[in-house]
Structures are given as structure tokens and as C-alpha cells.
Amino acid sequence: MARSGAARPEEIRRHNLGLLLEQVHRDGELTRAELTQRLGLNRSTIGALVAELSELGLIDEHVPTGNERAGRPSHVVTPRVDGPYAIAVEVDVDSVVTAAVSLGGEVLIRSDHTLPSTGNTPDDIANRIAADVDAVFESLPVGARSVGIGVSTPGTVTPSGGRVEHAPNLEWRDEPFGAILTRRLPKGIELVFGNDANLGALAEHLRGAARGFHDAVYLTGKIGVGGGLIVDGKLLTGAGGFAGEVGHMLLDPAGPPCHCGSRGCVETYVGEAALLRLAERTAAPSRDSVAEVLRAARAGERAALRGVRGVAVALGRTIANLVNLLNPQAVIMGGSLASVLELCRAELEAELDVRAMSEARREVELRTAGLGDDSSLMGAAELAFGPLLADPVGTAGLGESA
């Protein structure tokens, strides 16, 4: 019923430029003929748009070689190799990954750093990121243009200011992380922040396992459980950007106490901490301790398998609630939940059969993440590319230095 504002003729060209660039960014390579068909515009309009994006230094065009079909081959449009790049940063509880990502989604450079497993302050993390960003700038050719930095954070965060409202596993609450980070970076760099699971959902929708689905859910198991919801092709953010807190959905009012103050939340049954508890491990959650349980479960160890099965049943209940509410085409599992799906799909699907309404249940596919462990990192790059894709002409500075 609601529609966006009235369209004015002068906005159409810019809108169409953004649409075309977005298609090329998503697919990496498209012919003019494909662009003509996808955008529903005529050939001369497509030609003009391609020429303008080319002048802006954003795309390249070439005539395909080795084309064996008869007739004049359609020009191939690709993102420009020396075009603008995004810096993507993924902050996790015990690691920081920093990467330069080109239009088209290619990782040009990346660095992975492991941090102490607990006690990392906003200053610690900001220092690590600043050093890594410096290294990126030094590695890239002189004249390379950055669209800015997208930062994935494991918690609720304000998009532009980077104030971390709550990152339970880092034990941060109301931290001015964005301001701390800005002070350590060269002046004038655009910084934008997002929740890790939301960014994972964005990237899986754009170029991962949820590609082509208008309605999808991304769930990721780390120490806790994160969720990102794609509705009608867009990330569902909610009124204040706090939507998608699947980890604190109630599964049992008499369940174990949760760090959020409630009981029986999804996180008390489904995250990595829950997996270790259900598998009767005493180790704290970490990459190594979780990998050990999953390895043991694959080898058939009974306690480990009981743990994974327990997580699978609770995950099935969680997904059933999401299927009943959102009727998605796909639910994508990342982090340790991808392994849970691989090991115990039958148990998970059986729970879904009982708990989900049959019409919506029939339509949903369960898949592991297409981008593996890099969903949130690639989503952080998308966040940084956002303004350029929304308005390739208006995005400051890019046109000038082309």
C-alpha cells in the first residue's frame, strides 16, 4: 500500500545508473544485451548509461574474443579493475579481519589477526583495525580510490556513529567504538557499521546461498546466535536497526538462564556455548574447542553427537518459528550452524515438520552459507559500497579523480 515518494524526471538517470552498476557489481560480468533485458530499457539508453559509468571510471567494456556465434557480439561490461574499492572489517570476539574488496566482490588484499580470546577493549580492537587499514593503503597502487570502510560488529550498533549498544560476547555495552576508531584513522574516510549477522544476510543474499531469493533468513552460530532477515529483497532493520535478534527468541520459559536476563532463549540451546555444554565439554567456547566437538561428532563420538543433535532440535524449533512468521524461501546456516545442518539435517527437518505450518514449511529450503566464514566480511564491503551504488554520480570525489 505504501510507496516511495514521487519520481521526478531528473532523478531517473541517476537511479538507472545505480541500477546498472549494481547489476554489474553483483554479477561481475554482463553483456549489454543482458543489461537491456534486466533493466527493461532500450539499447540506446543502456549504451548511454554504460558510457557514463565508464567515464566515471567505474566499469570497463570490451568486445568478447573467441566468440563463435554468428552476428555482432554484444559488448561485455565488467567492474573496472582499478575502480574504487571498499575496505571491509569484520570484528569478532577473538579476531579482526580487514580486506580491500573491489566492485564485483573480489578480495584484493586481506589480513587475518587472532586476538586474545577474552577482554578485548574498544581501544584494543580500534588499534588493530587502524594498523591493518594503514597496511591496506600502503599495499594498493597510488591513486586507488576507496569508497570507505564498512565494519561488521558482533552486537547492536548504530550505523553511522558506530556506537555499540550491546555486544554481549565482547562484554561491551554502550561503547563509543565508532568515535574511538575514527580518531585512529586518516581524516575524511567514510565509516559505516553493521551487525555481523545482518551483514552476513546481505552478502548471502547478494552473492551467496540466498541469491535469487526475495525472502530469506540467515542464521549464524558463534558463541551466541545471530540472525539477519531478508524481506522482499531487503534487509529488515526494524524501527531502530535492532531487528533480527533471533538469539533471544524464547524457546522455553523454564529453560536455562540467559545473559540477557531472560530464560530459555535460543542462545541457551543453539550457540557454541550451548553445543559445548550439551556435548558435555568443560572447555570454554573457542574456535578450537568447537572444532573438536564437531570433529568428534563426525567421527561418531556419542557425547559429541548428542550435543549436535540437541542443537539441531532447538535450531529446528527456532527455524519453525521463523518459517511461521516470515514464510521465507530459504534459511541459510553460517558459522557452527552450517556444521549442525550437515551433521543432523534429518533431526532438524523432523522438528520443522512438526512445528511449522505445512504451507510455509513446504516452500522453505535449508542451506549452508555460500560464502563460508566470510559472509559478514563481504557484507561489510557492501555496506561501504552502498552510497556509490545508490548514486554513482553524486558520490563525493569519485567522479573527479577518474
Residue from 122, 386, 387, 392 binding a second copy (CB under 8 A): 386
Binding of residue 354 to a second copy (CB under 8 A): yes
CA 290 to CA 285: how far, in whole Å?
A: 6
How far CA 151 is from CA of 30, 156, 158, 378, in Å, comes to: 29, 12, 11, 10
Residue 310 lies near a second copy (rule: CB under 8 A): no
Kindly tell me which residue out of 131, 135, 140, 236 binds a second copy, with binding defined by CB under 8 A.
236
Interface of this chain with a second copy, residues 139 to 178, rule: CB under 8 A: 156, 165-166
* Binding of residue 321 to a second copy (CB under 8 A): yes
Q: Which is nearer to a second copy, 156 or 289 (CB)?
A: 156
> From the list 128, 248, 309, 367, which residue makes contact with a second copy (rule: CB under 8 A)?
248
DSSP string, 88-156: EEEEETTEEEEEEEETTS-EEEEEEEE--SS---HHHHHHHHHHHHHHHHHHSPTT--EEEEEEEESSE
Please identify which residue in 189, 301, 355, 402 interacts with a second copy, judged by CB under 8 A.
355
From 98-106, 178-186, 242-250, 293-301, give the range in contact with a second copy by CB under 8 A. Answer: 242-250
Q: Which residue has the cell 550435543?
A: 307
Q: Which of 68, 232, 288, 400 binds a second copy (CB under 8 A)?
A: 232
Q: Residue 33, CB half-sphere, CA atoms under 13 Å: how many? A: 6
Least distance CB 399 / a second copy (angstroms): 21
Q: Nearer to a second copy by C-beta: 166 or 287?
A: 166
Torsion of CA 291, 293, 294, 297, to 10 degrees: 160
Instruction: Give the residue among 246, 258, 271, 241 at the shortest CA–CA distance from 331.
Output: 246
Q: Phi and psi (nearest 5°) for 197?
A: -70, -35
Residue 136 or 223 with smaller CB distance to a second copy: 223
Question: Considering beta carbons, is residue 19 or 144 the nearer one to a second copy?
Answer: 19
Applying CB under 8 A, which part among 54-62, 124-132, 177-185, 357-365 lies near a second copy? 357-365
Q: Determine if 2 is a binding residue for a second copy (CB under 8 A).
A: yes
Q: Which of 297, 320, 378, 380 binds a second copy (CB under 8 A)?
A: 320
- Return all residues near 62 (Cβ < 8 A) that are at least 6 apart: 75, 76, 78
Q: Do 41 and 16 contact (CB within 8 A), yes or no? A: yes
User: Beta strands of 248-399 (E only): which ranges?
Assistant: 330-335, 365-368
Closer of 80 and 248 to a second copy (Cβ) = 248
**Contact between 389 and a second copy per CB under 8 A:** yes
Shortest separation between residue 382's beta carbon and a second copy, angstroms: 7
Q: Indicate which single residue of 33, 109, 115, 251 sits in contact with a second copy (rule: CB under 8 A).
A: 251
- Nearest CB to a second copy, comparing residues 189 and 260: 260
- Which residues ranging from 104 to 133 are in contact with a second copy (CB under 8 A)? none
Q: Which residues contact 260 (CB under 8 A, 6 or more apart)?
A: 168, 248, 267
Does residue 360 contact residue 324 with C-beta atoms inside 8 Å? yes
- Residues within window 191-220 making contact with a second copy, judged by CB under 8 A: 202, 205-206, 213-215
Residue 213 host element (H or E): none
Q: Closest distance between a second copy and the C-beta of residue 131, in Å?
A: 30
Interface pick for a second copy out of 310, 328, 335, 387 (rule CB under 8 A): 328
Q: What residues numbered 9-48 form the site for a second copy, per CB under 8 A? A: 9, 12, 15-16, 18-19, 22, 39-41
Q: From the CB of residue 57, how many other CB atoms can be counted at a distance below 10 Å? A: 17
Residue 179 burial by Cβ neighbours in a 10 Å radius (0-12, 13-18, 19+): middle
